[in-house]
Amino acid sequence: MRRRLGVNVDHVATLRQARRARYPDPLAAALIAERAGAAQITVHIRGDRRHIQDHDLTRLAASVQTLLNVEAACTDEMADILLSVRPHRVTLVAERPGEVTTEGGLDVAGQAAEVAAFASRLGAAGIHVALFIDPDAPQIDASCVAGVDMVELNTARWAETGNRGELVRLATATERARSKGLSVAAGHGLTLQNLRDLVLAAPGIEEYNIGHALIGDAVFLGLETSVRRYIDLLA
Ligand code: PXP
Which tens digits make up the pLDDT trace of 140-153? 999 999 999 999 99
Confidence of residue 95 (pLDDT cuts 50, 70, 90): confident
Q: Is 57 a residue whose pLDDT tops 90?
A: yes
What is the average per-residue pLDDT within 113-138? Answer: 97
CA distances from 232 to 5, 38, 148, 187, 207 (A): 10, 11, 30, 17, 14
3 state SS of 42:
strand
Total number of domains constituting the chain: 1
Ligand 1 cavity residues, CB under 6 Å: 8, 10, 44, 71, 91, 93, 102, 132, 152, 187-190, 209-213
- pLDDT tier for residue 101 given thresholds of 50, 70 and 90: confident
Q: Which residue has the least CA distance to atom 6 on ligand 1?
A: 188
Residue 185 CA, distance from chain mean position: 8
Whose CA is closest to atom 12 on ligand 1?
Answer: 188
pLDDT band at 98 (very low <50, low <70, confident <90, very high): confident
In this prediction the pTM is 0.97
Summarize pLDDT for 165-222 with one digit per residue, the tens: 999 999 999 999 999 999 999 999 999 999 999 999 999 999 999 999 999 999 999 9
- Residue of the nearest CA to atom 8 in ligand 1? 44
User: From the alpha carbon of 8, which atom of ligand 1 is closest?
Assistant: 11
What is the residue-averaged pLDDT of the chain? 96
Mean pLDDT of 128-144: 98
Mutate to test the pocket of ligand 1, among 11, 99, 188 (most ligand atoms within 8 A of CB): 188
CA-based torsion, 113, 117, 118, 119: positive or negative: positive
Domain that holds residue 67: 4-234
> Is the pLDDT reported for residue 100 higher than 80?
no
pLDDT at 103: 76
**CA-proximal residue: ligand 1, atom 9 (nearest):** 188
Mean pLDDT, residues 117-136: 97
Catalytic residues: 44, 71, 188
Q: What is the CATH number of the domain that holds 15?
A: 3.20.20.70
Distance (Å, whole) CA 162 – CA 197: 10
Q: Which of 9, 42, 198, 230 to mutate to test the pocket of ligand 1 (most atoms within 8 A of CB)?
A: 42
Which atom of ligand 1 is nearest to 71's Cα?
A: 3
Checking if the pLDDT of 97 tops 90, the result is no
Instruction: Find the mean pLDDT for residues 111-121.
Output: 95
